[in-house]
Amino acid sequence: MNTKQLNVIEIIFLLLLGLTGCNKEESREISNDEFCLYLNSENIDKTIPIINEFLAGLPKKMDEEQKLQALTKWLKSCSCIIDATIFSEPFMYTMGSRMSEILLSFKENGITKDLIIDVAMTNPLQVAFYHEHYTPMDVFVKTKNYFTIVKVFDFINSLDLDVELINYGVYVSTMSSDNLQYILDCLNTKTYTNDGNVWWVSGYLHYSTNQITIFPRLYNMKNKDYQNDWLKSMNDYQLVESFAYDHSGYVIHFRVPEGTEKQWETQFKKYEFVEWAELNYMLHIILN
């Protein structure tokens, strides 16, 4: 074989090697050090291009589910991440895009943060934005239908927690029906029956008995002066608690230290008189 023939073979070999290289899907290793550097409330938007670079480098033969799994696996490998899980299957978002969600947990200044990553089902997949999983510091507790307002006050007084609101109590009055508006007007003058903007005591007359029924919203009731005044008002306006239905009871809106929401949710569920306890989860409007 002469030199000319060898050169032709070498050229063909290099061309074939080049074609093979072009078809090969490159997956550059993405360092998570920079991702962790920006994983905080102030700079978290800077993590989006890093995640999108990782998603762009995934093999094209992967389907959407495999790409989401690969992303959660990569996130879990980051030293700054506590956990990452696929939170929802792809759905049609309000703006017309197909989206999926990944629940991300991490610590910031000793506080556990839970955020949702919204991932657009484009090609390649792309992170659109982050949003809160639940409202920080909010925990709601629903008491069972035998738990009176006096016991509710004793319960909240036993805890070193603020109380935003006590809601869904139902009261009936033994006063004559013509006193409905008088009772509403008097109760709505109370400092603790409004949020500073809107008065929240409502009521009506029962369609068959003409009995007065009252629905108060009680704010900032960790204040014992407010508690005593409400108990006095019950006596003044002849208000008696009504637990007519299986799911009657009070919903207490507690304010807990940020980062302890899940611990308090778990703790509240242990009380025998608690029907349920839950965080203040964010809701999406989803189009099927």
The string of pLDDT tens digits covering residues 183-220 is 999 999 999 998 777 668 899 998 888 999 999 999 99
pLDDT at 160 over 80: yes
Tens of pLDDT, residue by residue over 73-82, are 999 999 999 9
Considering the domain architecture, whether residues 41 and 101 belong to the same structural domain is answered as: yes
Pick from 286, 285, 7, 268: which is nearest to 139 by CA? 268
- Are 141 and 227 within 8 A, CB to CB? no
| The domain boundary residue, chosen from 103, 132, 161 | 132
Q: How confident is the model at residue 27 (pLDDT cuts 50, 70, 90)?
A: very low
Number of domains forming the structure of the chain = 2
Q: List the beta bridge partners of residue 112.
A: 107
**Residue 92 has what pLDDT?**
62
Average predicted confidence (pLDDT) for the chain: 85
Instruction: Look at 198 and 180; give whichever has higher pLDDT.
Output: 180
Q: Is residue 14 part of a domain?
A: no
Higher pLDDT, 203 or 95: 203
Q: Which amino acid is at 60?
A: K
Instruction: Identify the domain containing residue 91 by its residue range.
Output: 24-132
Residue 252 has what pLDDT?
97
Same domain as 237, residue 104: no
| Under 8 Å between Cβ of 192 and 230 | yes
Query: What was the pLDDT predicted at 207?
Result: 83
Q: Which two tokens stand for residue 21?
A: 């290289």
- pLDDT over 50 (residue 51): yes
φ/ψ of 275, rounded to 5, equals -80, -45
**pLDDT score recorded for residue 206:** 85
What are the φ/ψ torsions at residue 185 (nearest 5 degrees)? -60, -40
Q: Are residues 118 and 215 in the same domain?
A: no
112 and 149 both lie in a single domain: no
Q: Report which residue type is found at 8.
A: V
Mean pLDDT over 12-29 rounds to: 42
Residue 233 within any structural domain of the chain? yes
